[in-house]
Amino acid sequence: MAVSALPQADRDRIVAAIVAAEAGTAGEIYVVVSHEAVDFRFIPVLWAALAALPIPWPLHLLTTWSTTMILIVQALTFVAVASVASLWPLRRALVPASIAADAVRKDAHAQFLAHGIHLTEARTGVLIYVALAERRVEIVADDGIHRKVDQSAWDALARAVADAAKAGRLAEGIVNAVHGAGALLARHFPPPPVNRNELPDRVVEI
């Protein structure tokens, strides 16, 4: 795994925020920080194909080159563009925003299921998912929460985390999001007499 994005002191701050937030609600909060949600290895091939496919037509119409020479130029164009586009972070910059957003959303839901956040008794688990390479944040709330808390509230918290991360304050952004999630959950899901901790209070970094 790559070097941790969160020093131990920051991880401890986030865990402390989770513990404090969950003390006032029946909900459960889980944090996953991903260095790269998807590697997008197909993106260089896509751009190389788009660059190379039109090559034969202008060469055929405007030059006297042989078919063999034109095909060689097309192949070299494909290889050159694919090689350059494979360089990180250029590869990342070439990913269309809509594709990146969809990929992060899908990975967030995959992590939601992988960590068993959907298995809480009252279906009141919330995942705060940070995709560092994509610079995107998704907050996934379970079915029991959706009936009472509109997705727009979670989206606002997610934007705040993303803004904090861009400003170099990732840990602070996550801590604030945990507190915000805790406040929303406490409003609609107060703690029961026996408030069991159904999910481990920790930060998962992948």
Structure tokens that stand for 5 in this block: 């994005």
Taking Cα atoms as reference points, which of 77, 56, 79 lies closest to residue 68? 56
As separate numbers, helices (DSSP H) first and strands (DSSP E) second, the chain gives: 9, 4
Sign of CA dihedral 108, 113, 117, 121: positive
43 pLDDT tier (thresholds 50, 70, 90): confident
Query: Got the DSSP string for 123-164?
Result: S-EEEEEEETTTTEEEEEE-HHHHTTS-HHHHHHHHHHHHHH
22 pLDDT tier (thresholds 50, 70, 90): very high
Helices 8-22 and 170-188, interaxial angle, to 10°? 10
pLDDT value at residue 1: 47
2 pLDDT tier (thresholds 50, 70, 90): low
87 pLDDT tier (thresholds 50, 70, 90): confident
Residue 166 CA, distance from chain mean position: 14
Domains of the chain: 8-38+96-205 (3.10.310.50), 42-93 (no CATH)
- Specify the pTM: 0.79
**C-alpha to C-alpha distance for 125 and 147, rounded to whole angstroms:** 13
Does residue 128 register a pLDDT over 90? yes
Does residue 135 register a pLDDT over 50? yes
pLDDT value at residue 163: 96
pLDDT digits (tens, 9 = 90+) for 148-206: 999 999 999 999 999 999 999 999 999 999 999 999 999 999 999 989 999 999 999 99
